[in-house]
Amino acid sequence: MTDLFDGFEIAGPARQPLAPGAVLLRGFAQPHETELLAAIEAITAQAPFRRMITPGGHQMSVAMTNCGSVGWVTDRSGYRYDACDPDTGRPWPAMPPLLRQLAEQAANEAGFAAFAPDACLINCYEPGAKMSLHQDRDERDIGAPIVSVSLGLPATFLFGGLKRSDKTQRYQLAHGDVVVWGGPARLAFHGVGPLAGGEHARLGRRRINLTFRRAQ
């Protein structure tokens, strides 16, 4: 089945349930990689990737930027959402309609209707970079799901339970895969294992991850 809206066409995905409220949509974003990569290039021209500092003073191995009405940031004062890029003092780039529509359609496909993301955190992984287990809980509205889009090199996605000590499952995410989690899985611990080396045809030695949230 194919949906067409506002000139944006999405092919029906292969669904892989991960847990109640969590679904992996294999290849969901792949048909539109060219448009997505062009949008990311335009965003990063205005707000380049940077490796932020955690409240504990550690530099993250993953480089980040944002688009949307607010962006997720971290520094010695804590984790938070901010309307302005702290590096430039200017508002974050607007979220392109293409990205918003992709997130809305993926959420709908996973069973979460009327998702309206206002923030997109864009992560850039290079070989060796990783993301430790964590919960996405800085958002005011945790009733809305998280939509995570993978582009570039494959990555090992870790998905656990509501406690850090819960057992985690490992899933290999390929270019174009999208994971959506919400409802009973909204505060599940998750992370990304160290990125292996390799060369992707479009992104070289990188993995780009788009994480859409309803922050406000």
Question: What are the residue ranges spanned by the domains of the chain?
Answer: 14-213
100 and 36 Cβ atoms separated by less than 8 Å: no
Identify the CA nearest to 18 among candidates 193, 210, 185, 192.
185
DSSP E strands in 38-91: the ranges are 63-68, 71-75, 78-82
pLDDT of res. 141? 84
User: What is residue 10's predicted lDDT score, i.e. its pLDDT?
Assistant: 47
Tell me the pTM.
Answer: 0.94
C-alpha torsion angle, residues 185, 189, 193, 199 (rounded to 10): 40
Q: Write out the H or E segment, with its range, that includes residue 171.
A: strand 169-173
Average pLDDT over residues 92-104: 98
Amino acid at 194: P
pLDDT band at 187 (very low <50, low <70, confident <90, very high): very high
What average pLDDT does the segment 166-173 reach? 97
- Tell me the per-residue pLDDT of 125-159, one tens digit each, with 9 for 90 and over: 999 999 999 999 999 989 999 999 999 999 999 99
Q: What is the pLDDT of residues 1-28, one digit of tens each?
A: 334 334 444 445 699 999 999 999 999 9
pLDDT score for 39: 98
Between CA 195 and CA 117, with CA 181 as vertex, the angle to 5 degrees is: 95
The pLDDT, as a whole number, for residue 148 is: 98
**Phi and psi angles of residue 162, each rounded to the nearest 5 degrees, phi first:** -85, -5
Share of the chain above pLDDT 70, in %: 94
Q: Which CATH superfamily is domain 14-213 in?
A: Alpha-ketoglutarate-dependent dioxygenase AlkB-like (2.60.120.590)
